């Protein structure tokens, strides 16, 4: 998506070879016009696939997931990054390792919002090592839901996330694919829609 690439180049900031800051339009301050266009792009790519829900991990994926769910006319479900304070048998839970924060966290999904009848599209802001997406898929499979695919705004193509997910049978659709980056420099690969 050329608009997203242009926004990354004009407002994003590569801090080093691994970290790309996009907090001015994706994950601290959100550009609603861009998010609406992102939602439409994901909906257009995944239309006609019987998607019943859009799922994201809190919090950076909420805006694009909500816009995608709106464009598809289906509910959005948020996977929570908080441990259950009480043992709760109404939750599916799994542990995820965060690449950016270099920590582990517990990802939770309420059993009442996903069932075996759901065909789910996962939306996330970044794909790097694929840990978050793999954890989301694990939770959805515990619920016996099927996975329509993963839509990501920014894929760090130089990291193993895509290969890992594709090897597991998950389609990955990225709007912007970063081939390389370093301090104040970002190079793109052709996006999946080009």
Q: Is 149 within any annotated ligand binding site? A: no
- Give the whole-angstrom CA distance, residue 65 versus residue 152: 10
Q: Is 130 within any annotated ligand binding site? A: yes
Q: Is 90 within any annotated ligand binding site? A: no
Residue closest to 115 by CA, chosen among 141, 93, 145, 142: 145
CB atoms near residue 148 (< 10 Å): 20
Alpha-carbon Rg for the chain, nearest whole angstrom, is 16
CA angle at residue 181 from 178 to 182, to 5 degrees?
A: 165
Q: Is 79 within any annotated ligand binding site? A: no
Please answer whether residues 111 and 139 qualify as being in contact, where contact means their C-beta atoms are separated by less than 8 angstroms.
no
Q: Is 16 within any annotated ligand binding site? A: no
CA angle at residue 151 from 13 to 89, to 5 degrees?
A: 110
**Residue 180 burial class via C-beta count within 10 angstroms: exposed 0-12, middle 13-18, buried 19 and up:** middle
Residue closest to 145 by CA, chosen among 116, 122, 166, 174: 116
Q: Is 71 within any annotated ligand binding site? A: no
Binding residues for 5-phospho-alpha-D-ribose 1-diphosphate: 128-132
Binding residues: 20, 27, 128-132, 156
Binding residues for xanthine: 20, 27, 156
């Amino acid at each position: 998506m050329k608009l997203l690439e242009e926004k990354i180049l004009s407002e994003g900031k590569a801090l080093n070879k691994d970290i790309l800051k996009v907090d001015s339009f994706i994950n601290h301050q959100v550009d609603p016009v861009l998010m609406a266009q992102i939602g439409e792009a994901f909906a257009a790519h995944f239309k006609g696939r019987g998607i019943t829900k859009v799922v994201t991990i809190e919090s950076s994926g909420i805006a694009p997931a909500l816009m995608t769910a709106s464009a598809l006319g289906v509910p959005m479900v948020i996977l929570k990054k908080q441990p259950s304070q009480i043992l709760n048998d109404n939750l599916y839970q799994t542990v995820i390792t965060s690449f950016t924060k270099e920590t582990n966290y517990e990802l939770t999904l309420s059993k009442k919002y996903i069932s075996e009848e759901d065909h789910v599209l996962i939306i996330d802001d970044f794909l790097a090592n694929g840990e978050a997406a793999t954890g989301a898929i694990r939770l959805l499979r515990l619920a016996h839901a099927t996975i329509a695919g993963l839509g990501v705004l920014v894929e760090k193509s130089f990291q193993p996330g895509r290969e890992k997910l594709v090897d597991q049978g998950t389609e990955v659709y990225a709007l912007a694919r970063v081939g390389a980056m370093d301090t104040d420099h970002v190079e793109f690969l052709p996006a999946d829609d080009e």
